[in-house]
Amino acid sequence: MLDCAIIGGGPAGLTAGLYTTRGGLESVTMFEKGMPGGQITSSSEIENYPGVTGEISGMDLMMPWPEQCQKFGLKHEMIEVTRVSKEGAVFKIHKGDGTVEEAHSVIMATGSRPRHAGFAGEEQYFGRGVSTCATCDGFFYKGKEVAVVGGGDTALEEALYLAKICKKVYLIHRRDTFRSAPNTVERVKRTTNIELVLNSTPEEVYGDAMGVTGIRVKNNSGAIRNIDVPGVFTFVGNDVNNQTLIQEDGSFLCNMTKSGQVVVDICMRTSVAGLFAIGDMRVEAPKQVISAAGDGAVAALQAISYVDELLSH
Ligand code: FAD
Ligand code: NAP
């Protein structure tokens, strides 16, 4: 029986791992289906993590985190968790290999994943010219022209990254104002090889047997424009990874918002005793590395108190 099971090994889960183990819980396992680090490892640059100055990639930022946790006894099992349920006071962690682990407490930290924009050809050409990761795929378009879809922080930051590698970046956004931070918008506007294609919605990505050859956009005026590019990067927001909380009868284990985020209180407690949710998956998440890490610390301290109380009876 684990004292605590942590599901997900991004900034939130890793920080929960650090605080639960260092705070005295005996047996804590973090279940992470891939390499620990989370979605920030796909970011080319992070400049708002306090105390870290200069240019640093998400991968470099996250590199030391797992080692720090393991020093205090955190176990990492590289496996997907398919479901978390609760029977009496015991949580069941259903794993991808069909086995089940038991735990006194659970900290959910499964984060979020890139949303698909929904235009024609997006699925057909995904991985063959359509991408959601500039750091992963940008290099394939070195010296070529690409399109970026979206108007948030991710789209603009990744457009800036691509502009350093590619000949030209078409930044396609459906409005004429951006969600992104003002200084990022300014940097984009100052970058001579980024062309803003505003008030324009992607209609279709087209291509041939080799992959993408362009994207068709429709301006709010109704005008259609074909932009011939071999690569299209979409950054149109994220969906919460909440599938693990779905029970056999289709209901969620704990209270959720209509848009699928986990409802928590200020201590990261869900509606189920001993179950915590942190990082991008919880309600009102600021979706930042620093806040995900902060949530991890808060939930860990709560989990320690919860397990102490449970075992003292
Ligand atoms: P995640 O980082 O999403 O980690 C969740 C982890 O859970 C993943 O590793 C996943 O593999 C694992 N997982 C999911 N489901 C399961 C399962 N069923 N079983 C086992 N494991 C599972 N934030 C900033 O502060 N500054 C930035 O500059 C910045 N730039 C960004 C750039 C990009 C391109 C992106 C995508 C995000 C950026 N963010 C930035 C946001 C930041 O990355 C997230 O807010 C943060 O990573 C959330 O952390 P998390 O631990 O909640 O979730
Ligand atoms: P986001 O802020 O939700 O922005 C998504 C963008 O995509 C919006 O501009 C939206 O347009 C557009 N969009 C949505 N659906 C679309 C569709 N179907 N077709 C075309 N365009 C569509 O998402 P994000 O940029 O990924 O950021 C997610 C969170 O992470 C945010 O909280 C962000 O602040 C944070 N983040 C922070 C940093 C940083 O701090 N440096 C970096 C990256 C991400 P509208 O604007 O018209 O809605």
State if residue 235 touches ligand 2 by the CB under 6 angstroms criterion.
yes
- Band of residue 117 on the pLDDT scale cut at 50, 70, 90: very high
Does the pLDDT at position 44 exceed 80?
A: no
Provide the residue type at 313 as one letter: H
Provide the residue type at 43 as one letter: S
Condensed to tens digits (0 to 9), the pLDDT of residues 82-116 reads 999 999 999 999 999 999 999 999 999 999 998 99
Structural domains in the chain, sorted by start: 2-114+238-312 (3.50.50.60), 130-234 (3.50.50.60)
Tokens read off for 52? 């870290």
Q: Give me ligand 2 centre to Cα 273, in Å.
A: 33
Query: Any idea which ligand is nearest the CA of 158?
Result: 1
State if residue 157 touches ligand 2 by the CB under 6 angstroms criterion.
yes
Condensed to tens digits (0 to 9), the pLDDT of residues 215-255 reads 999 999 999 999 999 999 999 998 999 999 999 999 999 99
User: Do 6 and 309 form a contact (C-beta atoms < 8 A)?
Assistant: no
| Residues tagged active-site | 133, 136-137
Pocket around ligand 1: residues whose beta carbon is below 6 Å from it? 7-13, 31-34, 38-40, 42-43, 46, 48, 80-81, 109-112, 154, 241, 244, 279-280, 287-290, 292
Does the pLDDT at position 126 exceed 80?
A: yes
291 sits in the region (left: phi over 0; alpha: psi -120 to 50; else beta) called alpha
- Percent above pLDDT 70 for the chain: 100
Task: Give the integer Cα–Cα distance in Å for 264 and 157.
Answer: 30
Task: Give the integer Cα–Cα distance in Å for 18 and 210.
Answer: 46
Whole-prediction pTM: 0.84
For residues 5-28, one letter each, b for 16 or more C-beta atoms within 10 angstroms of the residue's C-beta and e for the rest, the string is bbbbbbbbbbbbbbbbbbeebeeb
At 171 the three-state DSSP class reads strand
State if residue 150 touches ligand 2 by the CB under 6 angstroms criterion.
yes
The atom number, within ligand 1, closest to the CA of 8 reads 7
Q: Give me ligand 1 centre to Cα 223, in Å.
A: 37
Task: Give the integer Cα–Cα distance in Å for 298 and 172.
Answer: 39
Q: Give me ligand 1 centre to Cα 294, in Å.
A: 14
